[in-house]
Amino acid sequence: MTQIDKGHEMLSFVWGLPRPTYIVGSGTGLHLYFVFERPIPLFRSTVKELERLRRRITWQAWTQGASSLHDNVQYESLFQGFRMVGSITKNGERTRAFKVGEKVTVEYLNQYVPEEYRAVKFSYKSNLLLKDAKEKYPEWYQKRIVEKKPKGTWVCKKDLYYWWIRKLKAGVQQGHRYWCIMTLATYAKKCAIPFEELEKDAYGLIPFMNTKGDKFTEDDVLHALEAYNDSYITYPINTIIQRTDIPIQKNKRNYRKRSIHLERARAVQAIDYPNNSWAGRNSKKVVVNQWQLDNPNGRKIDCVRETGLSKPTVLKWWNTDE
């Protein structure tokens, strides 16, 4: 009951906290559940708004006396799953839930945070039926419903996956270990790493993770590996930084004009293939390869924009510099 007592204390601090619908004790942690009166579809723009609001409420909860880890706030995702109420915890006890409030609205939550953290650009679930969507958005309906095609994504080199393993070994901390493994799973999917290899690497990291705090278990890894699916391929870098607490330096594009890229590519042709010995080789391949040399961490979409080449052309010659 100590956790629950702490939970009620959390509702009376200076910044204040919105009253949750439920307080749940999972054995090792305390969770506040806010159940909405109406469902909210998690479109990308909506997720960004709610993430900002949730992050602020989390900060207020952790820094106002409810946790001794106030200097190491653990931010969870909107999509984070928790143990089912009534299930067995890591300590062999039962996950218990206590109803302390009513269902809430986003407008209600907004009242408890400064204005710059409020979610204002969102919408509740639409009443638009699928048959109506077919008429209103025929191209979307054909692609996503009839053909069941996933959203388009870029596939990265495997170097990204191995880079993250090195990165997390250098910077992972307690409270963020789950997110580091979850990010590893998203990168594995994005880099077309077989699940068997991901599984071996992730479970192999457990002994190392246990040197960074409380016991990190196979169960933790199992749940983190659920991110090995297409829906996490577009997991944004800002969210990764926030969740893992590992700094990542974003790629800095040089924004050269298209003519400069082409000029540099032609210069490389002249050096590497004197006397027009490059003739017969695809000049667009040279442009793509040179752009990659100039932008080692660059994305295909940026190459398309800056060189003026078509997306299929960039895809064809990407990573073909041998």
pLDDT of residue 221: 94
Instruction: Give CA torsion, residues 6, 8, 12, 14, to 10 deg.
Output: 40
Residue 48 is predicted with a pLDDT of: 85
Q: Give domain limits for the chain.
A: 1-117, 158-244, 253-280, 283-321
pLDDT tens by residue, 57-70: 988 888 876 666 66
The larger pLDDT score, comparing residue 255 to residue 300, is at 300
What pLDDT, in 10s, does the model give residues 239-253?
A: 899 889 898 876 554
pLDDT tier at 202 (50, 70, 90 boundaries)?
Answer: very high
Answer whether residue 272 shows pLDDT above 90: no
Q: What pLDDT, on the 0 to 100 scale, is given for residue 259? A: 55
Number of Cβ within 10 Å of residue 132's Cβ equals: 11
In this prediction, residues 257-267 reach a mean pLDDT of: 55
Exposure letters 163-172 (e unless 16+ CB within 10 A, then b): ebbebbeeeb
pLDDT mean over 133-137: 80
The pLDDT of residue 1: 42
Mean pLDDT of the chain: 79
* Listed residue (166, 219, 218, 230) closest to 192, CA to CA: 230
Secondary structure element (H or E) that encloses residue 315, with its range:
helix 311-317
User: What pLDDT does residue 179 have?
Assistant: 93
Q: Please state the pTM of the whole predicted model.
A: 0.44
